[in-house]
A and B are shown apart, each in its own frame.
Chain A
Amino acid sequence: MAQQILLKNSDVPGLASFEVYRKLGGYASVEKTLKNFTPDQVTDEVKKSGLKGRGGAGFPAGMKWSFLDKSTSNPRYFVCNFDESEPGTFKDRHIGQLNPHQLIEGMILGSYALGARTSYIYIRGELFYVLRIIEKAIEEAYANGFLGKNILGSGYSLDLYCHPGAGAYICGEETALIESLEGKRGNPRIKPPFPAIVGLYDCPTVVNNVETIANLPWIMNNGAEAYAAIGVGNSKGTKLISACGHINKPGIYEIELGLPVEEFIYSDEYCGGIRNGNKLKAVVAGGSSVPILPAELILKTAKGEPRLMSYESLAEGGFETGTMLGSGGFIVMDETTCIVKNLLTFSRFYHHESCGQCSPCREGTGWMERILHRIENGHGTMKDIDLLVSISKHIEGNTICPLGDAAAWPVASAIRHFRQEFEDHVKLQKCPLSK
């Protein structure tokens, strides 16, 4: 059994209540940290742990904190990104729903480290029932002296609030999230300046993903070295993988980074193999935006080495033959899957979610959706396939935020690895796999 940091007590009844959480050792890290650590020491600890941002980009969390502008007397803000919306990703919901106090405990540690006096949890609007669970947990934390004025007599005070979104994938991009939190449309900002300098209300701000923050109590309880001892290479710690699609056991798994992909897919401890004894066709390993890989390349790298569930191993081979760990949204497709149709649903998603600010993304995502619709329905031409590649290249890198890249990569990679299937649609003038 892998080390469990985030799911350890998931099965304990009533874990979402303060009483149960506290009995299991909850909030001990706050007691320890406020007493024995300065804020900068907490940041150092997180840096040393090697914890990377778990939202998808994988940027080292401690380093992100260290960019915070501490030279002004402006308030500083710590914001939790709970806008979980990347297709295939459903891990943060699990934390918020079953273990909200671990997120709150992490919010207190992060806020203390950054010197924030007011912090927000920005949660996607569709998850209002989770927001209510978290708000109840926040109330309990206030009632027990872990939030509010002068926490545990330390002199440190913190207010924590939930803020609902209202249906916009783009608000998972941190500057769009900040705009949204300010009460505006979720249009990403041009960076620099980065939020660490000019963030919420023009004040220094750090935005971290739910899972990143939920790791902090364990790191402060057990030390950075213990955390860094888990995992492989520069992929430290555990990672929640939300597995879905054509597997026998879809669900959320906490793995130690470095687990072989083959074991993750086929072992009964994890996905339990492909449904109906079917053959594996393809995997999107880190949420819909990362490149899709055919079975042979997700199980083994182009060099023939076993592919591991780690930042480095999944990226091995670059985008030619590799992909990304991303958010940990692991979408498995069996031999019955039409790659073109699956891609069409992704492209429709990105077209729907483009904020419309940059023309390559606003127009390009719509073109890609329409061309894919044409090909899937038997009206495509061979030129359309090249046109898709061309559009994806013209979107990539030409937009303010990464949504453009996120829309381009699935298209480029599907054609790179499954071109024959696109051509078959054109030749047959229909989907070869349609019922």
Chain B
Amino acid sequence: MQNNTNISEFNTETLELVNRIISRYPEGRQKSAILPVLHIAQSENSGWLSSETMDYVASLLQIQPIEVYEVASFYSMFNLQPVGNCMIEVCQTGPCWLNGAEDILAHFEKRLGIKPGETTADGQFSLKAVECLAACGNAPVIQVGIEYHEKMTTGKADELLEKWQSENKCSHTNPYL
């Protein structure tokens, strides 16, 4: 897998962003910045949080590593295992289910040859079944990185897959930039 790299530290530009975020919270409350900083760290570490990455975040925020682990393991957007270059998240909750979400998920499974929670052998795609993305009026909905794709059809899924394959799509980009 190409995704086992670990960030050692952020570059200057990212550090400036992190410091700007930390400054939004009162003196001594820098722990508040943990979610935004974990989002950034995950994007810089190929879409997942290794323990080394979390330790680095702990050092940036001057908190104990366990404080980062317990938070990272609580929130569903953080991946604690390596993931593919492009993570496809398919909403499966009621309103999307009413409008054919199962067909969309099954189509991705068939096209990619993987089940939710798995990654293709070439490391390009991961599939994840997620809960309500709050876009129910345009169901069914999927999310890739910070993009939403709404009113999904199997045809649209094919078009997107083709596009992502040809451009070697990466969904792990710094969400702030």
Interface residues of A (CB under 8 A from B): 75, 84-90, 92-93, 118, 124-129, 131-132, 159, 161, 163-169, 180-186, 201, 242-246, 250-252, 284, 288, 329, 331, 333, 337, 341-342, 345-346, 348-349, 352-353, 355
Contacts and interface: CB of A to CB of B under 8 A. Distances in A.
A252 B97 contact: no
B12 interface: no
A164 B136 contact: no
A185 B93 contact: no
A96 to B, nearest CB: 11
Contacts of B117: none
Most chain A CB inside 10 Å of its own CB: which residue of B63, B98, B134: B134
A252 to B, nearest CB: 7
Contact of B136 (A181, A331, A353): A331
Contact of B139 (A92, A132, A244): A244
A96 B136 CA distance: 16
A181 B146 CA distance: 21
A430 B135 CA distance: 31
A348 B24 CA distance: 36
B159 to A, nearest CB: 20
B124 interface: no
Contact of A185 (B70, B133, B136, B146): B70
Interface size bracket, B side: 35 or more
B149 to A, nearest CB: 12
Contacts of B143: 126
Given A180-B35, A183-B71, A250-B137, A86 B98 contact: no
A84 B138 CA distance: 16
Contact of A345 (B34, B67, B70, B97): B97
Contact of A245 (B24, B74, B98): B98
A346 B93 contact: yes
A119 to B, nearest CB: 11
Interface string B66-80: 010011001111100
A167 B67 CA distance: 18
A127 B74 CA distance: 18
B38 to A, nearest CB: 7
B134 A127 contact: yes
B137 A244 contact: yes
B137 A251 contact: yes
A242 B35 contact: no
A131 B71 CA distance: 21
Nearest to B61: A183
A12 B125 CA distance: 38
B113 interface: no
B71 A185 contact: yes
A409 to B, nearest CB: 14
B138 A345 contact: no
Contact of A244 (B71, B136, B176): B136
5 smallest beta-carbon distances between A and B, as pairs: A166-B75, A167-B76, A183-B31, A167-B77, A244-B136
B7 to A, nearest CB: 18
A118 B93 CA distance: 36
A13 to B, nearest CB: 20
Most chain A CB inside 10 Å of its own CB: which residue of B35, B36, B132, B138: B132
B29 to A, nearest CB: 6
A246 B134 contact: no
B77 A346 contact: no
Contacts of A128: 39, 146, 175
Given A161-B24, A167-B76, A244 B95 contact: yes
B77 to A, nearest CB: 4
A352 B61 CA distance: 29
Contacts of B136: 87-90, 242, 244-245, 250, 329, 331
Contacts of A288: 93-94, 132
Nearest to A332: B98
A331 B75 contact: no
A87 B133 CA distance: 8
A329 B93 CA distance: 13
Interface in B18-55: 24, 26, 29, 31-36, 38-39
Contacts of A118: 26
Interface string B139-169: 1000100111000000000000000000000
Given A132-B176, A168-B76, A184-B71, A87 B132 contact: yes
B131 interface: yes
